[in-house]
């Protein structure tokens, strides 16, 4: 059998210097034409393929490049973009971007998280009348393009079942999976075309099976690969399952006539045993995903080889691979200026490619030198623990996570704060003006001295406080001008974190994030936000709300150490935040918000893991916030549209006030919350900050009335959906004015 051999399931595409991001943004701004944009993509692909070949991979993926998103690529490939975009009469590229970004009057496709990563894909819209035709040539084009460079590749496609499972029905009651028999012929046609092009292997990604799936969905998987295997004249098929074990889908795929399977051996401990025990893999190649595709740690070569070796005998051939695409890690750790010891513990995409190659040779029994890798892993294990942090963790008592009963707190807070019914507030950040950004950048670069920087920030805080007083808001904020990002800002000040300079990872389209690296025990050398908050409070007699990011969100948006349970890491962060919360209280802040917008993001893909996750996530939040007096009001903020699964946890957080995204869903979340017996303060967002639209007074008042009907009105707050930092003052001022006026109207009716 001609095997695949050592490979990676995918590679970053935004460019080591974010070349694609810049090219896209220039194109969208109308500053360059299509030819320039396509040339940047072509150059990036060529550089990637050459690099992967030179590194010594035995199989090189193609098709992992995308101008925006691989799910959107798939919809386009099979002629399944909604008519509202194809009817616009735009060029194919602009039709694609219209679906990705929307155009005047035609909203973009919805965007949602790619499983439990921080990547977001575009959700295809499918209905009973959807038809599929192979209309695109992207996979073929890329095969030819690589071949011109003398490189044979393995096209990577989103698998048909995952594609349908990720799509959204355009009609209630319809399931896109019903379209499977419509879709399979289009895939089969593509497979034949690829075969005719001389392609030997094709990779079909089916990560949807790392989550719980019904029998019907598993049957669809069976059917899909039996049908595709029968395609006349097809390349050999590799099905990739990742982001977890495959559960029952393992048996389904093992018994299907595909030639190879890629499995993630790192996410679920017991899955390697399941694979090793799967008799039906005997005539297949198995790609053992033993190099973590989504975290940044150097691979322990002995553990990786041991995992892969456990599969020998199970499969006809075992090869080394990444656990998933490398899309989720930055390019190259050598580009960073980190502490050399920390650097030696890390592996970004390029280092992981080298690891795969080296481990592949070792697995074949070739003599390879693993000493550097072993030494680095051993050195990381000797990283001195911060004993004080461990002692504090060990000494934590259950009561440290418990506050007085809510009713008592509510009474004390009413006394202390004297707020009117239906109080008004905002979520924290105010628009980040060019001046603010400039001052921060200059300070960072050393061009603006500390005193001058503080003066500029104080002036900004003064402006924001005065504006809020003038608008008549009840609980004010300082506006967060000093923060680049709600996680980065804290990571830069906490011990145990490192920040990268070039470690960008694609979040969606041209947007990238630079997650900090949580590498050691976490502690807080000194207060992080207290001087800003104290200053703001000194400028007004109204209460200022202190503003912090919660432990779960800090973890969710960082690369986190993998050498201790997440729950312990979360508690370490929680203790640091707890100190900050108490210092804010001591500085005279009687309202403190701890944001957890990412509470849902670390939710395990399988329901079996939910309870344990919520237990530690909720405990971490409560440890962070339970150190204050009953009279201090703790707020939290959540913002993602699908609340269903986290609803029970919201109650568990025991915050006095929860502000929650609700404007777009027209307050639906409130009914769910009330039905669950939630009785504490709640501020459903009544101003959609994702849109430049300024809502009118009547519209906001109506939303507030709907909300008031759903919850005990005494506990209702009025606030926007989220922070205002991405908006401009031209929209924010009138919108907040309307919000306050609407709250006053509805207040009078209560
Ligand atoms: N306090 C943060 C802000 O206002 C919250 C941001 C968020 O929820 N993503 O910007
Ligand atoms: Zn938010």
639 lines ligand 1 (CB under 6 A): yes
In the prediction, which pLDDT does 373 show?
Answer: 98
Query: Taking a C-beta distance cutoff of 8 angstroms, is the pair 250, 278 a contact?
Result: yes
In the prediction, which pLDDT does 1 show?
Answer: 52
Query: Taking a C-beta distance cutoff of 8 angstroms, is the pair 578, 622 a contact?
Result: no
Whether the CA torsion 125, 131, 135, 139 is positive or negative: it is positive
Q: What pLDDT, in 10s, does the model give residues 183-196? A: 999 999 999 999 99
In the prediction, which pLDDT does 666 show?
Answer: 80
| CB hemisphere CA count around 460 (13 angstroms) | 26
Instruction: Look at ligand 1, atom 8, and give the residue with the nearest C-alpha.
Output: 597
Question: Can you tell me the distance from the alpha carbon of 697 to that of 735, in angstroms, rounded to the nearest whole number?
Answer: 9
Quote the tokens at residue 180.
């499977």
Across residues 230-258, what is the average pLDDT? 97
324 annotated as ligand-binding: no
Placement of tokens 């628009």 in the chain: 431
Quote the tokens at residue 39.
């040339």
727 lines ligand 1 (CB under 6 A): no
In the prediction, which pLDDT does 93 show?
Answer: 98
487 lines ligand 1 (CB under 6 A): no
Q: By CB neighbour count within 10 A (0-12 exposed, 13-18 middle, 19+ buried), where does 193 fall?
A: middle
Q: What pLDDT, in 10s, does the model give residues 401-428? A: 999 999 999 999 999 999 999 999 999 9
Beta-strand (E) ranges in 83-235? Answer: 111-113, 120-122, 125-126, 154-158, 168-169, 201-205
Q: How does 128-148 read in b/e, with b if 16+ C-beta sit within 10 Å? A: eebebebebebbbebbebbbe
316 annotated as ligand-binding: no
Question: Can you tell me the distance from the alpha carbon of 410 to that of 414, in angstroms, rounded to the nearest whole number?
Answer: 6
Does the annotation mark 690 as catalytic? yes
Q: What is the largest CA-CA distance in the chain?
A: 81
Q: Report the separation in Å between the CA atom of 532 and the middle of ligand 2, taken as the mean of its atom positions.
A: 21
Report which ligand 1 atom has the smallest distance to the Cα of 549: 1
Report which ligand 1 atom has the smallest distance to the Cα of 723: 4
Instruction: Look at ligand 1, atom 6, and give the residue with the nearest C-alpha.
Output: 723
Question: Can you tell me the distance from the alpha carbon of 456 to that of 440, in angstroms, rounded to the nearest whole number?
Answer: 9
Using N-to-C axis directions, what is the helix angle for 349-363 and 301-309, rounded to 10°? 50
Q: Report the separation in Å between the CA atom of 549 and the middle of ligand 1, taken as the mean of its atom positions.
A: 8
Instruction: Look at ligand 1, atom 1, and give the residue with the nearest C-alpha.
Output: 428
Question: Can you tell me the distance from the alpha carbon of 460 to that of 453, in angstroms, rounded to the nearest whole number?
Answer: 11
* Chain Cα centroid distance, residue 597: 11
Q: What pLDDT, in 10s, does the model give residues 287-321? A: 999 999 999 999 999 999 999 999 999 999 999 99
**Percent of the chain residues past pLDDT 90, beyond the cut:** 93
Q: What pLDDT, in 10s, does the model give residues 74-119? A: 999 999 999 999 999 999 999 999 999 998 888 899 999 999 999 9
Q: What pLDDT, in 10s, does the model give residues 460-473? A: 999 999 999 999 99
Quote the tokens at residue 611.
């309870």
Question: Can you tell me the distance from the alpha carbon of 365 to that of 18, in angstroms, rounded to the nearest whole number?
Answer: 38
Report the DSSP beta bridge partners of residue 479. 429
725 lines ligand 1 (CB under 6 A): yes
This prediction has a pTM of 0.96
Instruction: Look at ligand 1, atom 4, and give the residue with the nearest C-alpha.
Output: 723
Question: Can you tell me the distance from the alpha carbon of 578 to that of 571, in angstroms, rounded to the nearest whole number?
Answer: 10
ipTM, interface predicted TM-score of the complex = 0.99
Q: What pLDDT, in 10s, does the model give residues 647-704? A: 889 999 999 999 999 887 788 888 888 877 888 999 999 999 988 899 999 999 999 9
Q: Which residue of 591, 595, 688 sits with most ligand 1 atoms within 8 Å of its CB, as the best mutation to test the pocket?
A: 595
Pairing of strands 505-508, 495-498: unpaired
Helix, strand, or coil (residue 499): coil
Report the DSSP beta bridge partners of residue 205. 158, 240
Catalytic option among 317, 690, 738, 744: 690
Report the DSSP beta bridge partners of residue 319. 287
Q: What ranges in 133-177 are assigned the alpha helix state H?
A: 138-148, 160-166
Q: Which residue of 473, 479, 597 sits with most ligand 1 atoms within 8 Å of its CB, as the best mutation to test the pocket?
A: 597
Give which of 649, 636, 511, 685 is closest to 119, Cα–Cα.
511
């Amino acid at each position: 059998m001609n095997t695949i051999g050592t490979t990676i399931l995918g590679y970053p595409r935004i460019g080591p210097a974010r070349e694609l991001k810049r090219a896209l943004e220039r194109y969208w701004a109308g500053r360059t034409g299509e030819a320039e944009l396509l040339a940047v993509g072509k150059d990036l692909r060529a550089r990637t393929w050459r690099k992967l070949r030179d590194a010594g991979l035995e199989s090189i993926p193609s098709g992992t490049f995308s101008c925006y998103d691989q799910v959107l690529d798939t919809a386009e490939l099979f002629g399944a973009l909604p008519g509202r975009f194809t009817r616009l009469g735009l060029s194919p590229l602009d039709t694609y971007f219209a679906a990705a970004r929307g155009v005047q009057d035609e909203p973009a496709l919805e965007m949602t998280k790619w499983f439990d990563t921080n990547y977001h894909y575009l959700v295809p819209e499918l209905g009973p009348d959807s038809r599929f035709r192979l209309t695109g040539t992207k996979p073929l084009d890329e095969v030819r393009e690589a071949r011109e460079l003398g490189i044979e590749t393995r096209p990577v496609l989103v698998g048909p079942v995952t594609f349908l499972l990720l799509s959204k029905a355009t009609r209630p009651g319809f399931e896109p999976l019903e379209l499977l028999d419509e879709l399979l012929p289009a895939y089969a046609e593509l497979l034949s075309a690829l075969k005719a092009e001389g392609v030997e292997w094709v990779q079909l990604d089916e990560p949807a099976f790392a989550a719980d799936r019904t029998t019907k969905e598993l049957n669809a998987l069976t059917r899909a690969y039996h049908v595709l295997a029968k395609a006349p004249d097809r390349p050999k098929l590799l099905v990739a399952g990742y982001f977890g074990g495959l559960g029952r889908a393992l048996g389904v795929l093992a018994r299907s006539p595909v030639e190879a399977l890629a499995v993630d051996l790192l996410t679920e401990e017991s899955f390697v045993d399941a694979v090793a025990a799967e008799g039906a893999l005997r005539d297949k190649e198995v790609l053992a995903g033993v190099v973590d595709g989504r975290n940044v740690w150097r691979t322990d070569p002995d553990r990786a080889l041991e995992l892969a070796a456990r599969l020998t005998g199970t499969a006809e051939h075992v090869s080394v691979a990444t656990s998933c695409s490398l899309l989720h890690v930055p390019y190259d750790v050598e580009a960073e200026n980190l502490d050399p010891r920390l650097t030696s513990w890390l592996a970004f995409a390029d280092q992981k490619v080298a690891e795969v190659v080296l481990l592949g040779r070792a697995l074949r029994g070739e003599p390879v030198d693993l000493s550097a890798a072993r030494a680095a892993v051993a050195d990381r294990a000797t990283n001195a623990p911060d004993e004080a942090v461990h002692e504090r963790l060990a000494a934590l008592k259950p009561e440290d996570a418990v506050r007085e009963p809510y009713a008592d707190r509510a009474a004390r807070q009413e006394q202390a704060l004297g707020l009117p019914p239906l109080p008004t507030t905002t979520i924290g950040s105010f628009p980040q003006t060019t001046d603010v950004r400039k001052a921060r950048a200059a300070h960072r670069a050393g061009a603006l001295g500390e005193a001058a920087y503080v003066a500029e920030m104080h002036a900004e805080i003064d402006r924001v406080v005065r504006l809020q007083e003038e608008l008549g808001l009840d609980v004010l904020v300082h506006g967060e001008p000093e923060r680049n990002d709600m996680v980065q800002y804290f990571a830069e000040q906490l011990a145990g974190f490192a920040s990268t300079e070039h470690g960008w990872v694609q979040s969606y389209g041209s947007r990238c994030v630079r997650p900090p690296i949580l590498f050691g025990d976490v502690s807080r050398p000194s207060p992080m936000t207290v001087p800003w908050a104290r200053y703001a409070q000194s400028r007004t007699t109204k209460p200022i709300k202190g503003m912090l990011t919660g432990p779960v969100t800090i973890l969710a948006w960082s690369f986190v150490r993998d050498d201790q349970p997440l729950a312990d890491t979360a508690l370490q962060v929680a203790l640091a935040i707890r100190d900050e919360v108490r210092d804010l209280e001591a500085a005279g802040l009687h309202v403190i918000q701890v944001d957890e917008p990412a509470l849902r993001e670390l939710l395990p893909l399988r329901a079996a893991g939910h309870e344990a996750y919520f237990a530690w996530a909720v405990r971490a939040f409560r440890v962070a916030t339970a150190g204050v007096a009953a009279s201090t009001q703790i707020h939290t903020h959540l913002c993602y549209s699908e609340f269903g699964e986290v609803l029970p946890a919201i109650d568990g957080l025991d915050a006095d006030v929860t502000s929650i995204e609700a404007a777009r869903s027209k307050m639906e979340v409130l009914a769910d919350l009330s039905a669950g017996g939630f009785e504490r303060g709640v501020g459903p967002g009544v101003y959609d900050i994702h849109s430049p639209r300024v809502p009118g007074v009547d519209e906001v008042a109506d939303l507030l009335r709907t909300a008031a009907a759903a919850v005990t009105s005494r506990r209702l707050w009025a606030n926007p959906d989220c922070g205002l930092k991405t908006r401009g003052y031209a929209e924010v001022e009138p919108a907040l004015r309307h919000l306050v006026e609407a709250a006053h109207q509805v207040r009078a009716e209560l």
